[in-house]
Amino acid sequence: MLPHSSLTSPKIVLAIFTLQGGGAERFVLTLAEAFFKLGFDAHVICFKNQVHYPIPQGVQVHFLNYQAYRWLPKTWRNPIFARVFDRYVQQQIGKVDMVISNLLPVDQVLRYSQLEPICFVIHNTISKEYGLSEQSPAQQKNLIEQLRLVYGQRPCVCVSQGVLDDFLQFFGQHPQITAIHNPIDAVSIQQQSLEQVDVPADYLVHVGKFKAAKAHEMLIRAYAQSQQALPLILVGDGGLKADMVGLVEQLGISDRVIFTGFQANPYPYIRQARLMLLSSVFEGFGIVIAEALALGVPVISTDCEAGPRELLPAANLVPVGDTAALATKIDQAIADTDAFRSPFDPKLLPDQVAKQYIEHVLGTEFKG
pLDDT number for residue 5: 39
pLDDT number for residue 1: 37
pLDDT number for residue 3: 41
Report the distance separating Cα 117 and Cα 138, nearest Å: 33
Cβ-based neighbours of 116, under 8 Å, separated by 6 or more: none
- DSSP characters over 121-136: EE-S-HHHHTTGGGS-
Cβ-based neighbours of 246, under 8 Å, separated by 6 or more: none
pLDDT number for residue 368: 61
pLDDT number for residue 340: 96
**Cα distances (Å, whole numbers) of residue 200 to 73, 172, 179, 196, 342:** 51, 50, 39, 12, 24
The candidate with the shortest Cα–Cα distance to 37, out of 191, 195, 160, 187, is: 187
Cβ-based neighbours of 155, under 8 Å, separated by 6 or more: 117, 118, 119, 120, 176, 177, 360, 361
Sign of CA dihedral 96, 21, 190, 359: negative
Report the distance separating Cα 310 and Cα 204, nearest Å: 22
The candidate with the shortest Cα–Cα distance to 82, out of 105, 50, 114, is: 114
Beta bridge partner(s), residue 42: 12, 59
Is 11 in contact with 36 (CB distance < 8 Å)?
no
pLDDT number for residue 135: 86
pLDDT tens readout for residues 253-301: 999 999 999 998 999 999 999 999 999 998 889 889 999 999 999 999 9
Would you mind telling me the total number of residues written for the chain in this entry?
Answer: 368
Is 102 in contact with 16 (CB distance < 8 Å)?
yes
∠ CA 4-10-13, rounded to 5°? 155
Report the distance separating Cα 272 and Cα 198, nearest Å: 11
Report the distance separating Cα 185 and Cα 28, nearest Å: 12
Report the distance separating Cα 51 and Cα 108, nearest Å: 22
**φ and ψ at 231, to 5 degrees?**
-65, 155
Measured between alpha carbons, how far apart are the two ends of the chain, in Å? Answer: 8
pLDDT number for residue 264: 83
The candidate with the shortest Cα–Cα distance to 144, out of 172, 102, 118, 111, is: 172
- The segments of the chain whose pLDDT lies below 50 read 1-7
The DSSP 8-state label assigned to residue 182 in this structure reads P
Name the H helices within the chain. 23-37, 74-88, 104-110, 126-129, 137-151, 161-171, 186-192, 216-225, 241-250, 267-271, 287-294, 308-311, 323-335, 350-357
Report the distance separating Cα 71 and Cα 91, nearest Å: 26
Report the distance separating Cα 271 and Cα 275, nearest Å: 9
pLDDT number for residue 215: 96
pLDDT number for residue 296: 97
Report the distance separating Cα 60 and Cα 79, nearest Å: 25
Report the distance separating Cα 115 and Cα 97, nearest Å: 9
pLDDT number for residue 367: 64
